[in-house]
């Protein structure tokens, strides 16, 4: 079993839809959870960052962590064509030099 | 604010030729530095990381090497490229004591080996 599993997609939704992107993980030591957004032919950019369980909201984006189920989600409300990108989940343990473990990413297309 | 610069953005190299990709970080000191490769359908693969000058850890045995000659400079090299070295290479940095080791990526370098 891979440490981090992410739905492979691709995912296509109409503009205005609510999008749910999900990752599961197997390592219970993970404490920090992130979502990165990557536009075509660009480097990933940090979108959301959460520590331990709970929700975090930033504009149209909500990150949710359920450590009991080892499941994290990213919700996008009122999706826009500019949200079309690849989304990668990432997570790490505590410790100064703990490295991130990434999901493979899911490509989202928002149709006008 | 911190910025990361990576170059060249695109390059096409023949098999057997050498490679040098460079990366510099501005606005921070003593960062952790990383080289990743991203291949279609395979996600991000960590190649090298460094916690200080001259300190390089290799994650995957391969045809590549890395060096950190200065605190905020990271170089990815190869003496002889293989076709399988083609891909999207990303330099990244994180704060040495940053919470969760959030990393920040450069714009990437597209390498095509022909």
Backbone angles phi, psi at A82, to 5 degrees: -70, -10
Say which residues have a Cβ less than 8 Å from residue A17's Cβ, sequence separation at least 6: A79, A110
* Shortest alpha-carbon distance between residue B100 and chain A (Å): 5
Residue A65: the pLDDT is 96
Rounded to 5 degrees, what are φ and ψ at A51? -115, 130
A5-15 confidence digits (pLDDT tens): 998 889 999 99
B8, B89 Cβ separation under 8 angstroms: no
Cβ contacts (< 8 Å) between B44 and chain A: which residues? 44, 88, 102
pLDDT (tens, 9 = 90+) of chain B, 114 residues, equals 889 999 999 999 999 999 999 999 999 989 999 999 998 767 899 999 999 999 999 988 678 999 999 999 999 999 999 999 999 999 999 987 665 678 999 999 999 999
Backbone phi, psi, residue B85, to 5°: -80, -10
Q: What is the pLDDT of residues B36-59, one digit of tens each?
A: 999 876 789 999 999 999 999 998
- Helices and strands (H and E) in chain A: how many: 0, 11
Q: Cβ of B102 and A49 within 8 Å?
A: yes
| Low-confidence residues of chain A: pLDDT under 50 | none
Q: Is the preceding peptide bond at A91 cis, omega within 30 degrees of 0?
A: no
Element (H, E) at A107: strand A106-111
In which residue are the tokens 């952790």 written?
B32
Size of interface A-B (CB pairs under 8 A): 55
Q: Of A68, A67, A87, A99, give the one whose Cα is nearest residue A20.
A: A87
């Amino acid at each position: 079993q891979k440490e981090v599993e992410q739905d492979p997609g691709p995912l296509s939704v109409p503009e205005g839809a609510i999008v749910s992107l999900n990752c599961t993980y197997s390592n219970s030591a993970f404490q920090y959870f992130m979502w990165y957004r990557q536009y075509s032919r660009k480097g990933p950019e940090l979108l959301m960052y959460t520590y331990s369980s709970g929700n975090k909201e930033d504009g149209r984006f909500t990150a949710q962590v359920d450590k009991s189920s080892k499941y994290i989600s990213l919700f996008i409300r009122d999706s826009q064509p500019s949200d079309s990108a690849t989304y990668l989940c990432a997570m790490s343990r505590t410790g100064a030099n703990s490295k991130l473990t990434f999901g493979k990413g899911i490509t989202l297309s928002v149709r006008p | 604010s911190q910025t990361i610069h990576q170059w060249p953005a695109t390059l096409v190299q023949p098999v057997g030729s050498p490679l040098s990709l460079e990366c510099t970080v501005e606005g921070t000191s003593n960062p952790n530095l990383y080289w990743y490769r991203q291949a279609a359908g395979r996600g991000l693969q960590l190649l090298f990381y460094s916690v200080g000058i001259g300190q390089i850890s290799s994650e995957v045995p391969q045809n590549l090497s890395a060096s950190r000659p200065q605190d905020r400079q990271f170089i990815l090299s190869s003496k002889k490229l293989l076709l399988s070295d083609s891909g999207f290479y990303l330099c990244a940095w994180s704060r040495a004591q940053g919470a969760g080791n959030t990393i920040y990526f450069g714009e990437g370098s597209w390498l095509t080996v022909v």
